Amino acid sequence: MNLIDALKITGQYCLPKHAISRLVGKLAAAEAGSVTTRLIQLFINHFGIDMSEAVHEDPAHYKTFNAFFTRALKAGLRPVVDDPLLLALPVDGCVSQLGDISQGRIVQAKGHDFSARELLGGDAKLAAPFQGGKFATIYLSPKDYHRIHMPLDGVLESMIYIPGDLFSVNPLTAEHVPNLFARNERVICLFDTEFGPMAQILVGATIVGSIETVWSGTVTPPREGVIKRWTYPAGDQEGSVALLKGQEMGRFKLGSTVINLFAPGKVTLVEALKNLSVTKLGEPLAIST
């Protein structure tokens, strides 16, 4: 690791990441007219964002930076695989790691791993169904589309908010901060599916102003430092949350990472996906076994 990268990592341990994230969240939610439009245009230019994909291409359409960052894509732009045996990628992004949950461990980067139990808030009962299963970790960069969708049809069983740190989740940090995804703030969504249980985990990061789900709205902030749990009725009961493959399930206001966990013997990750593969929402993620 060179000196500049070392300083970037060391600085993250020292900076008041929660305070910075609160400030950025407030700024991103502010309606500042031409200042907001200028900021959005600078962001588009810096990251090379293709606004022709957005429903609203003109930066001036967006009253806040958050509205721009969670912009919708044009209909049909990300077709979802219709084969019922195929699971779909949940986001645009880049594969950080994927593979087997071996001896309860999930690979974070070369030389780093963490336990599924830690990721799921230390709950051995929640982690047990995923022992020996599969995982996929996808990083969303600032230029990506930041709505999160379902890989397959599912009925929501529970949602758990785990408070934590707010380290960056970019590749450099993943390579050098131990237990990164199991120490950062995260929202765990557990679904019952025809291919067994699935966890879709939305990981917070530095300057992520908010994590939202379509059924509950904003989950964080506030950041109260306590674990919160919600349970939901089964699919045939009033108040249940049933989502279809490809349907939106959540959003990041500023970017982060999505981790999926699958039960053993249920799915095989498609061979075309490797570490650092670019992902597009709706393309194949896995196939039923």
Active site residues: 92, 149, 256
Contact assessment for residue 73 and residue 265, using Cβ atoms and an 8 Å cutoff: no
Taking residue 275's Cβ as centre, other Cβ atoms within 10 Å add up to 15
DSSP readout, 4-24?
A: HHHHHHHHHHHS-HHHHHHHH
- The C-alpha atoms of residue 202 and residue 176 are separated, in whole angstroms, by 21
In sequence order, which residues have a C-beta less than 8 Å from that of residue 207 and are 6 or more positions away?
20, 21, 24, 25, 166, 254
Q: In the structure encoding, which two tokens stand for residue 80, read together? A: 């979802």
Contact assessment for residue 127 and residue 226, using Cβ atoms and an 8 Å cutoff: no
